[in-house]
Amino acid sequence: DAKTTQPPSMDCAEGRAANLPCNHSTISGNEYVYWYRQIHSQGPQYIIHGLKNNETNEMASLIITEDRKSSTLILPHATLRDTAVYYCIAHKAAGNKLTFGGGTRVLVKP
């Protein structure tokens, strides 16, 4: 899986949008961009994934640049319960392992 780079931490105000960047400049054509989050001491929670097009679900939106070298996860209205470590992962289609990096520790403040 391609290496991904994320800022180690960021703060966000409750009710505001949180924009989480991820760099994956060496991503290959068959690698999806996956986002997971992990709330303290729980199992990682799947958020969203995409290949080329922007994606949206009930939790978040994923914006992937046209050259696929970077992406942004958007939490539209952050709540205190969104405080977690967010992981961006480049994952081969039908691949086995997920390679977790350091992630971004997001703190949502009142």
List residues binding another protein (CB under 8 A): 30, 32, 34, 36, 41-46, 49, 51, 87, 91, 93-103
Beta carbon nearer to another protein, 85 or 108: 85
The residue written with tokens 């990096």 in the block is 101
Question: Distance (Å, rounded) from C-alpha 39 to C-alpha 17?
Answer: 19
Beta carbon nearer to another protein, 67 or 94: 94
Burial class (CB in 10 A: 0-12, 13-18, 19+), 64: buried
Beta carbon nearer to another protein, 44 or 73: 44
Minimal distance, residue 73 CB to another protein, in Å: 16
Report the candidate in 102, 99, 81, 79 with the shortest Cα–Cα distance to residue 89.
99
Minimal distance, residue 14 CB to another protein, in Å: 25
